[in-house]
Amino acid sequence: MYQMLLKNIEKRKFIYAFSFILFSLLILAFFNKNTNSIKNLGNNKISFSREEELNLIRDFLFKQIRSPFKDIRHGIKKGDSIGKILKKYNVENAQIQEVIEQYKIYGKANQLLVGNTIDLTVEKNIISGGNSIIKFFIPITKSTSIEIKKNEFGKLQSEKIITKLYKKTVVAENVITNSLYKSAINSKVNPDTIIEFARIFGFEIDFQRDIRKNDYFKIVYDKYFDENGEMVKTGSILFAHMSVNGREITLYKFGSDKSYGYFDINGKSVEKALMKTPINGARLSSSYGMRKHPILGFNKMHMGTDFAAPMGTPIMASGSGTITRAKWCGGGGNCIKIKHNSTYETIYAHMKSFAQGMKVGKKVRQGQIIGYVGSTGMSTGPHLHYEVIVNGKKVNSQTLKLPSGKTLKDDERQKFEVHRIKTDVLVSELLNKNN
């Protein structure tokens, strides 16, 4: 939306500039017909050459036609406050108060960092003669700045911008007493990392049927903090372990930051064409097969799998691919269809809404959130209806056997072994620190 506002501002700047140039050319064309014009100043006559005459006209026009926008850089001095600075640049009082209120969310308006620079863009109000704020950018610490800008509705809004972050590798572990999600939250793991963890293990574990009470998980990942120690974001998972129903599964991130995968202790990729379940924290509410339709009332083949979950629960793409349908699908409500390759397609129905940017032709990656659980169409309650299509035929996603991922060999395998040992040492050190 802000981009739209910027485009409008640039458009207005362009109109001003274009009008000025066009007007100037018309004036110059008119005066160009006379090779030597005579200007009367008082009672004196002065002869001008064509070049001198054109320069006079140009200077006059520049003074008369000016853009209402002005970019200002102000170096903060001792005793400066936001109010004092904005009054200096003739900003209207109402706008000054608005900027101060937005800034107060993050700092004190009369305690600014001396020596730093404030960047602001103002627009002159033709009626009042004062200036209004388009953008106000100010540093508040060495690694943090505040940007206050007009939104598409003409109101000022603020945003905290982090310019420098500090990375810390952390480990989280817990026993699962109810669900993976709740146990991970209790261990202070943020939701995005939990979703990524579920995606990684989603190839091997059915979170609706395999998880048992007292199962165990362990995650090693990066957290990024600002200079005040406040967490800003998390990085990718470096190491993941689960003890599930008697099975021990350990996975390692391996590869470059732009292209990596997760491999078990034998160097075998855990990733397959499709995840077993595209949703976390749900229960299997209706299996694939013949059933009595809950609304129509007669027996009908159920060509998918239903997962009951709270309204708004994120739905993930079970595999990477291209969206071929993102619209209202009648009884299926809001639905998305993804073509993964020449063999596999998946359908996700009854969505409350689509995730931002989801449309036909959009490429999505495995585990990416594509929408949210709803109860649209012919539905008795919030759930996801999930279908898998193999070579044009709908199949049972829960019994589908998917091809195994690749196994590292030769040089890659040797590099992985070194990486695996280093990671195991790191995990051990982090656990010792916690204890």
Residue 281: per-residue pLDDT: 57
Mean pLDDT, to the nearest integer, of 37-51?
Answer: 47
The band of 1, judged by pLDDT with boundaries at 50, 70 and 90, is very low
Asked whether the predicted pLDDT for residue 208 surpasses 70, the reply is no
What average pLDDT is seen over the chain?
79
The band of 42, judged by pLDDT with boundaries at 50, 70 and 90, is very low
Asked whether the predicted pLDDT for residue 46 surpasses 80, the reply is no
Which of the two residues, 370 and 187, has the higher pLDDT score?
A: 370
Which of the two residues, 396 and 7, has the higher pLDDT score?
A: 396
Which of the two residues, 75 and 298, has the higher pLDDT score?
A: 75
Residue 43: per-residue pLDDT: 45
Residue 418: per-residue pLDDT: 95
Mean pLDDT, to the nearest integer, of 29-45?
Answer: 46
Asked whether the predicted pLDDT for residue 325 surpasses 90, the reply is yes
- Give residue-wise pLDDT tens across range 127-137: 777 888 888 89
Residue 30: per-residue pLDDT: 52
The band of 350, judged by pLDDT with boundaries at 50, 70 and 90, is very high
Residue 36: per-residue pLDDT: 45
Asked whether the predicted pLDDT for residue 248 surpasses 70, the reply is yes
Asked whether the predicted pLDDT for residue 57 surpasses 90, the reply is no
The answer to whether the CB of 91 falls within 8 A of the CB of 100 is no
Q: Which one, of 266, 188, 238, lies nearest residue 425 by Cα?
A: 238
- Give residue-wise pLDDT tens across range 67-101: 678 888 999 888 888 888 998 998 888 888 888 88
Considering the entire predicted model, what is its pTM? 0.51
Which of the two residues, 30 and 156, has the higher pLDDT score?
A: 156
C-alpha gyration radius of the chain: 32
Q: Which residues pair with 347 in a beta bridge?
A: 337, 387
Which of the two residues, 404 and 27, has the higher pLDDT score?
A: 404
Give every CB contact of residue 31 below 8 A, 6+ residues apart in sequence: 37, 53, 54, 57
Residue 295: per-residue pLDDT: 46
Asked whether the predicted pLDDT for residue 107 surpasses 90, the reply is no
Residue 282: per-residue pLDDT: 56
Percent of the chain residues topping a pLDDT of 70: 78
- Give residue-wise pLDDT tens across range 408-431: 989 999 999 999 999 999 999 998
Phi, psi at 420, each rounded to 5°: -65, -45
Nearest-angstrom CA–CA distance, 299 and 292: 4
Which of the two residues, 278 and 46, has the higher pLDDT score?
A: 278
Which of the two residues, 13 and 372, has the higher pLDDT score?
A: 372
Asked whether the predicted pLDDT for residue 9 surpasses 70, the reply is no
Residue 334: per-residue pLDDT: 95
Which uninterrupted H or E stretch holds 390?
strand 383-390
CA 433 to each of CA 222, 257, 278, 376: distance values in angstroms, whole numbers, following the listed order: 16, 26, 35, 49
Percent of the chain residues topping a pLDDT of 90: 23
User: What's the 3-state SS for 136-201?
Assistant: EEEECCCCEEEEEEECCCCCEEEEEEECCCEEEEEEEEEEECCCHHHHHHHCCCCHHHHHHHHHHH
Residue 370: per-residue pLDDT: 95
Mean pLDDT, to the nearest integer, of 317-329?
Answer: 92
Residue 362: per-residue pLDDT: 94
- Give residue-wise pLDDT tens across range 172-185: 999 988 778 888 88
Asked whether the predicted pLDDT for residue 195 surpasses 90, the reply is no
Question: Sign of the C-alpha dihedral, residues 269, 223, 142, 139?
Answer: positive
Which uninterrupted H or E stretch holds 391?
none
The band of 111, judged by pLDDT with boundaries at 50, 70 and 90, is confident
